[in-house]
Structure 1
Amino acid sequence: MKRGIVVAGGTVDSGMKDILENREGGTIVIGVDRGISVFIRIGLQADYYLGDLDSIDSADIPLIPKDRLHKFPAEKNASDLELALALCVELDLDEVFVYGATGTRWDHSFSNLLMLKRFYDLGLQVILANEKNQARVLSSHQTIRKEEVESYRYLSILPLSMGGVLVSETGVKYPLDQERLLFGQTRGVSNESIGEDIKIEVMEGVALLILSND
């Protein structure tokens, strides 16, 4: 599996240096606009730097390696993060963790969550992550097991399909057995791991899986 890490311009984990230094070999790393400053601050290099550079500290711009920079105009029809994920598709990556995709701007945060479905349909599993949360798309005939969720206390299934999703959950406080969760319904929010063999299976539809800790 070909993996990537994208560091965007929102709120970034304090442990970002450890995440980058301990990444799996061969992982492609991309710094996006203000996220580029993270690499300069911690003294690490990304494989690609991308963005319009309108939100980065001007003192950092001369420090960006020009041979790794994909610069775009400020006025364009896609966000810098969307362009970075499009690059991941071009690079034929299978899975990418995105840090700094959420912050104080609700419009950016919400659009970034919705982008997960678009890029999932293009064959790229995008996982938004921060110190407390992780979000990814689940679709029909896809199963999530304990090792993928065990470090989180809460898990929520939010239907993205207008017809809802058919889902089963075991190893959780509120098990579900082929239950249909409707779009806009909160039935799937804030289930809890109880330390057993957790299994989440979507039989029909597309959902957002959000893992959380307090």
Structure 2
Amino acid sequence: MNAIIVTGGDIDLSLLESYISKNKYTIVISVDAAVKKLEETGKLPNVMVGDFDTLADEKRLEYYAGLGIEIVRHNPVKDFSDTELAIDWAYKRNITEIVIFGALGRRFDHTFANILMLRKYKKLGVDITVVDRCNRIYVKSNPFILEKRLVWGKYISFFAVKEKVFIESLTGVAYPVENKYLDNIENPSLFISNEIVDDYMSVIFDGEILVVESRD
């Protein structure tokens, strides 16, 4: 099962609409007031999650409930962000693939927390991808191959999830690598802004890496 989550950060509405239309999702989840952004695309969620302090419109919530949309409401005084509560709702229903729109934006605290959640739920068996107009971000824990024509943009970057990760080989890129550590202390920017130059890129490593496909 898979899901798309729309949360409160910056969202390119045309990209969101296109993504929903071109991809099949079991369920669409909106977080707090992000339902307004979904409305602008002509879409409605299956589920709404949050404390709804940002939406702050009881009549609107009643209207959505009347349409058969499930409302999962939380106390504003809580230990988790609304976005994490939405991810957790999906996880507890055996959803194993999630794409999130609106996870990046002006609030760096929320952005950073959202990126950290990628690893938390990867360990629980959930593959989460954060998407915006310029970036596609996810965590990998096993060697993998990327096809150049399918990457999000021109650039591919890697970051160690823990302090360091041993990269056995990185091939098919402008700057190939053999037997080198990706180290957040010694060389945190060493593996950014590489480019795939062959039809496929391959990376073999030991550990967990954060992958960022990006474009200007």
Length-normalised TM-score, structure 2: 0.89
Give 1:178 deviation, angstroms.
Answer: 3.4
> Which residue matches 2:156?
155
> Which residue matches 2:174?
173
The one of 75, 93, 104 equivalent to 1:73 is: 75
**Partners of 2:13 and 2:41 within 8 A in 1:** no
**Partners of 1:169 and 1:198 within 8 A in 2:** no
CA RMSD of aligned residues (A): 1.9
Q: 4+ residue stretches of structure 1 with deviation over 6 A? A: none
Q: Tell me, yes or no, if structure 1 residue 190 matches structure 2 residue 189.
A: no
How far apart in 2 are the matches of 1:125 and 1:39?
Answer: 23
**Partners of 2:137 and 2:210 within 8 A in 1:** yes
Query: Where does 1:8-19 land on structure 2 (aligned, <5 Å)?
Result: 8-15=7-14, 16-19=16-19
Secondary structure of the residue aligned to 2:164 is coil
How far apart in 2 are the matches of 1:151 and 1:43?
Answer: 25
Letter in 2 for 1:190: S
**Partners of 1:129 and 1:135 within 8 A in 2:** yes
Identity %: 27
> Which residue matches 2:21?
21
Length-normalised TM-score, structure 1: 0.90
Structure 1 residue ranges without an equivalent (≥5): none
Query: Matched residue pairs, number?
Result: 210
Give 1:35 deviation, angstroms.
Answer: 1.2
How far apart in 2 are the matches of 1:3 and 1:155?
Answer: 25
Query: Where does 1:57-72 land on structure 2 (aligned, <5 Å)?
Result: 58=57, 60-65=60-65, 67=68, 68-72=70-74
**Partners of 1:94 and 1:125 within 8 A in 2:** yes
> Which residue matches 1:199?
201
How far apart in 1 are the matches of 2:84 and 2:127?
Answer: 14
Query: Where does 1:1-214 land on structure 2 (aligned, <5 Å)?
Result: 2-15=1-14, 16-24=16-24, 26-56=25-55, 58=57, 60-65=60-65, 67=68, 68-139=70-141, 141-146=142-147, 149-184=150-185, 185-194=188-197, 196-214=198-216
Secondary structure of the residue aligned to 1:65 is helix
1:141-185 C-alpha deviation (Å, 9 max, x unpaired): 331321685341001000112233325222211111232211242
**Partners of 2:151 and 2:213 within 8 A in 1:** no
